[in-house]
Copies of this chain bind each other. A is one copy, B any other.
């Protein structure tokens, strides 16, 4: 790999000029007094030889590598990582940079390895990413250079990019209000222990805040909230069963994320309630399952690609300290409708299929 490559000296020789001249021409240096003809010859020689600079040699001198480190806690388990990386990759390519990826897995030894590895390689900057939106501590060793936090905050004076969870909360609430939902809106997914701990997640509180403010502005209060230990389908399922066992049935359920909403779908399906005719469901994240559910789940999408892209922009183009909030667009699907005029009553389970119009659902 990469033997036989023409060097700058080869180009200079072929152009009949010095390495200095060749270097300056190829780097487009201003203020040099090299003739137009010299430019021509250098470009021609470089072209003919298929010259490409050796980045190791260049960065030895310049201490620039055109490489960005992407350090994250977990890349694998969450499918959101892909979006962040993809966005970063795109923006990096546009700026002729490349991404070095490492993972700490939340392990101090691995983090140490990752940091040494990127420091040894003299990366131009570091994107320090968390897979769950949260606050974190930035290892001091990397603070010598450019750092952008992605999907995370910190107490340090750095730029960081976050999804606009609060705005998404507002959007979600507005969507329900616009359909005529008022006093029978339930919420699933708060977590007593974790939501207040910014080291674990900032999302819950911000989303809730957006929801509450918007509802309050319309003079509406949440009907109930059901707490969940985690945001997994099984918890959404149990929470929904709990919800349905209460005297006053909701006209709409806001789930804190799509996995909870999936659980809600399962519970509602078992009980024979139809979405959105009997009950609307709306949620956050735009997990792939949101589009696979029947009916499709309306949800405020986490803008992962834009976030990854934004992080690179802040790192390379500058853009100051503090937060950059990326809007979370609402994916409108079929899970939200106007509330039924009558309060829906759960059918006894085991009675058979819900009275959904199957053929219209099949026509997809």
Contact = CB atoms under 8 A, between A and B. Distances in A.
A122 interface: yes
A16 interface: no
A1 B85 contact: no
A343 interface: no
B63 A2 contact: yes
Nearest to A88: B101
A1 B82 contact: no
Contacts of A55: 120-122
Contact of A89 (B59, B103, B146, B359): B103
Interface string A2-44: 1101000000000000000000000000000000000000000
A223 B120 CA distance: 60
B76 A82 contact: yes
Contacts of A120: 2, 52-55
A262 B292 CA distance: 8
Given A82-B82, A103-B86, A353-B349, A60 B63 contact: no
A323 interface: no
Contacts of A119: 1-2, 5, 52
Contacts of A123: 1
A89 B110 CA distance: 11
Contact of A56 (B65, B99, B292): B65
Interface string A122-141: 11111000000000000000
A98 interface: yes
A262 B146 CA distance: 45
Interface stretch (A173-181, A191-199, A234-242, A247-255): A234-242
A326 interface: no
A93 interface: yes
A354 B358 CA distance: 11
Contacts of A262: 292
Given A78-B82, A121-B67, A354 B270 contact: yes
Interface of A: 1-3, 5, 52-57, 59-60, 63, 65, 67, 70, 75-79, 81-83, 85-86, 89, 93, 98-103, 110, 113, 116-126, 142, 144-146, 232-234, 237-238, 241, 259, 262-263, 266, 269-272, 288-289, 292, 294, 305, 347, 349-359, 362, 364
Closest 7 CB pairs between A and B?
A: A1-B145, A79-B79, A76-B86, A76-B82, A233-B292, A351-B358, A56-B60
